[in-house]
Structure 1
Amino acid sequence: MTDLVTTVVITRDRVDQLLQTLPRHEGRVIVVDNASSDGTAAAALARCPGVRVIVLPRNVAGAARNIGVEAATTPFVAFSDDDSWWDPGSLARAAEIMADHPSLAVLAARVVVEPGGREDPFNEVLATSPLAGSPDVPGRPILGFMACAAMVRREPFLEAGGFHPLLGVGGEEQVLAWDLAARGWDLRYEPSLLVHHEPRPSGTRGDRRTKALRRSAVIAGLLRRPWPDVGRTVLHGLGASGPDRAGVGAAVVRLGPALAGRRVLPRAVREQIRVLGD
């Protein structure tokens, strides 16, 4: 079933890490290089000559995945970052599930953090989702996912606009998940599928991610949620940690473009968000 899937890997200035994970991917692979300055493209091709590498003239962050999906010719696309890879057999199994259930637009896998194979805490969030869904579709109904551990159906992904360019990296999945649900597509978490994630240790990574997630939450609200919900998100960020407050500030910088793209979600999706407790 891997002939039905292309794995899209985004990277920027992490050639050493990419060269470690790239040979682990099965089937077709497209690497989208976010304007790296460390020789990523040449090194990737030298290590894995069968990989296609697309070099971007500038860093577009998470939206680089959209370019990879556009370039793919398979009906399904799996995402990986330069520090993640799908467990052997999981890619084919995910493609089989997607092929057997045409209403599925997103299938999220369970993530273990390497080294050591620790369960990522987000697995529990997805596994305990209280959302209701058709019993004919496998997995737990969800309204969010981790980009580096998900497979999408190419056509609805592109029709929904892919990852919104204002969201960067960190929380970039949210608007896409909402927009797919608004179009009537199913999103599911399937714990039998496995992705390995080996993030590079960094003393400031937690703060940077907190800031990015708060920034994306505010921008996503501006793009899709009613004003009272946006206000609560902003106030919660301002009353939280320093990185949270910094995230609100980073979102304000993008206020104009966010308002220009504002389109409030239909009531059914807004109710799902409330069931999840935001």
Structure 2
Amino acid sequence: MPTRAPSAASLSPRVSIVVLTHNRPTELARMLQHLASLPEQPPVIVVDNASSPAVDPTRIPGWGQARLVLCPRNEGAAGRNRGVAEVTTPYVAFCDDDTWWEPGALATATILLDADPRVVALSARVLVGPDNRFDPACEAMARSPVTPPPGPPLPGPALVSFMAGAVVMRTDAFRAVGGYEPRFFLGAEEVLMALDLAARGGWIVYAPEVVTHHHPSAARDASHRRLVTLRNRLWIPWLRLPLRWALSESRQILREARAARLVGPVLREALRTLPWVLAERRPVPPDVLRRWLEVYRPHALRPAPACLDDEHAVSSTPMPHPLNNRPR
């Protein structure tokens, strides 16, 4: 689906871009050159997650008018919180240093968010690599089974999560949930935020006409990311799901950890942080749980809605978790 042509009104600076980078100066320069060509001319805030050496704007081609925020240490996804603290526009779009927005995409996002105050986040259509392959995660989003709210149709399929480097959000909504949890570092951080946004009444939508490009960098620590993501996924159900589903998800995640030979490190980290998890535990309301079940445990939904609050009911057989194949 083509990106909508921006209107004159949508070209005013009502959306800013927050870019997260760490030790990728070449990718950062390429991405900034793409952002400089956007017709929306959005304010750009680059968050340097303690690169070594630190980002030097005078050495980055195409830096332009971007603002630089330096983190004293690598804060992972929470580095975005520092960028959003500098945002003065009502909407904020996120990039990693190997992603960039297509011309007109941010104007389209502005139109969609202006038109529906129920929507707090638009997850973009992601085109991967020089051949613009359709990201498989977007195919799943397009088929989302989440029941939309009553009233006018949403601008796209309702979701229970989004991709952190390919989303446009209401700035106030991001701030209202406290941004990204610093303890998560990187991996499934947006899943926790999505649950918190939904618990506050917000809706997340897949908007295929809002397009971003992703040219994955080779500079990745896949083994460490796998461990941290499994740990974070183990945290999430205990932070936000009723007991029944926390137990069910834990069994599924620990099976995956065992298959990856990471069950020991994942369990040690989970037990070490148990006091924090219990102190921060806030199970989501039943309507948000239903959305989660529609995606992750559809066979568990029964005709009687009371089962959603029954923490002692027998769990259904766990289904494969879609975050296993989530692109970064």
Range 256-265 or range 243-252, more displaced: 243-252
In structure 1, list runs of 5 or more residues that go unmatched.
none
Q: After TM superposition, list the pairs within 5 Å mapping 1:145-184 onto structure 2.
A: 145-184=162-201
Per the alignment, residue 256 of structure 1 pairs with 275
CA shift for structure 1 position 106: 0.3
Structure 1 window deviating more from structure 2 (208-217 vs 224-233): it is 208-217
Query: TM-score by structure 1 length?
Result: 0.92
Aligned equivalents of 2:136, 2:272: Cα separation in 1 = 31
Root mean square deviation, CA, Å: 2.0
Which amino acid in structure 1 is aligned with residue 129 of structure 2? E
Preserved CA contact (<8 Å) 1:141 1:187: yes
Structure 2 counterpart of 1:67, one-letter code? R
Structure 2 length-normalised TM: 0.79
Does 2:18 align with 1:8? yes
**Which deviates more, 254-263 or 93-102?**
254-263
Which position in structure 2 is the counterpart of 1:87? Answer: 102
One-letter amino acid of the structure 2 residue matched with residue 168 of structure 1 = F
Which residue of the partner structure matches residue 305 of structure 2? none
- Counterparts of 1:72-111 in structure 2, within 5 Å, are 72-111=87-126
One-letter code of the match for 1:228?
A: R
Residue in structure 2 matched with residue 234 of structure 1 by the alignment: 250
Q: Which one has the largest radius of gyration? A: 2
Kindly indicate whether the alpha-carbon contact (under 8 Å) linking 1:45 and 1:53 is maintained by their aligned counterparts in 2.
no
How many residue pairs end up in the alignment?
277
What whole-Å deviation, never above 9, does each CA across 1:87-133 have from its counterpart, x for those lacking one? 11111111111112122100111111113211111112211111111
Q: Is the 8 A contact 2:237 2:250 kept in 1?
A: no
Query: Which residue of 138, 141, 147 maps to 1:126?
Result: 141
The one-letter amino acid of 2:191's match is Q
2:145 is paired with a residue whose SS is coil
Query: Are the counterparts in 2 of residues 114 and 197 from structure 1 also a CA contact under 8 Å?
Result: yes
Tell me whether 100-109 or 75-84 shows the greater mean CA deviation. Answer: 100-109
How far does residue 40 in structure 1 lie from its aligned partner after superposition? 1.4
Work out the CA distance in 1 between the residues paired with 2:59 and 2:175.
26
Match for residue 272 of structure 1 among 278, 284, 291: 291
Answer whether contact 2:144 2:157 (CA < 8 A) is retained.
Answer: yes
- Corresponding residue for residue 188 of structure 1: 205
| Alpha-carbon shift at residue 45 of structure 1 (Å) | 6.3
Segment drifting more, 112-121 vs 189-198: 112-121
Aligned to 1:69: 84
Following superposition, which runs of at least 4 residues in structure 1 exceed 6 angstroms of deviation? none
1:224 aligned partner: 240
More displaced, 38-47 or 67-76?
Answer: 38-47
Report Cα offsets for 1:26-59 as digits up to 9, x if no partner: 3210011111112314356664130000001111
Identity rate, percent: 35
- Alignment correspondent of 1:59: 74
Equivalent pair of 2:233/2:253 in contact (CA under 8 Å) = no
